[in-house]
Amino acid sequence: MLFSEVRGLPVVLPGRAGPLGRVTSLTVDVADARVSHVRLRAGRFRRERVLPWDAVDTVGPGAVQIHSPTPPVPAPRRRDLLGHRVLTDAGNEQGTVLDVAFDPATGRLLALFTGHGEVPPTRLLGLGDHALVVRAA
């Protein structure tokens, strides 16, 4: 599944009428190369909530289903991978992140798609305000 396919999906809890909110982005733990949190907008004032990936049961084309009404948790600063600049550890420009493929069952990243081609998650080194840093090929 792609990050772009998840953005905007409703987050639902079985047995509750109506969605808890809609996915705004997925937070990534770069060191582990996996999704760590789901960010969603919810409520009357559309405040952002953050849920741990462990609260997710399934991710499908119609919704993200969670297994319990997990209270919001502290999460790393919001750094959306989509649109983020990509640099190698040697300082070479690798375009921007166009999309990210991940396993919806585990949250493991499968590939990052950039303007310069595909980047395997094993090359990820760090994510900051300025850029996503990857190991040079």
The domain tally of the chain equals 2
- The answer to whether residue 73 is domain-embedded is no
8 Å CB contact between 1 and 106: no
CA distances to 49, 54, 57, 88 from 71, rounded to whole Å, are: 9, 12, 16, 37
Task: Write down which residue in 18, 38, 66 finishes a domain.
Answer: 66
- The answer to whether residue 71 is domain-embedded is no
pTM of the complete model? 0.88
In a shared domain, residues 121 and 90: yes
**Could you tell me the CATH number of the domain that includes residue 128?**
2.30.30.240
Question: H helices of the chain, where?
Answer: 3-6
- The answer to whether residue 74 is domain-embedded is no
In a shared domain, residues 99 and 58: no
**pLDDT tens per residue, the chain (137 residues)?**
999 999 999 999 888 788 888 999 999 999 999 999 999 887 666 678 888 899 999 998 899 999 876 666 666 666 789 999 999 999 999 999 999 999 999 999 999 999 999 999 999 999 988 899 999 97
Beta strand 47-52 pairing with 34-42: antiparallel
Q: Domain residues for 22?
A: 3-66
**Assigned token pair, 105:** 């069952």
- The answer to whether residue 110 is domain-embedded is yes
- The answer to whether residue 97 is domain-embedded is yes
- The answer to whether residue 17 is domain-embedded is yes
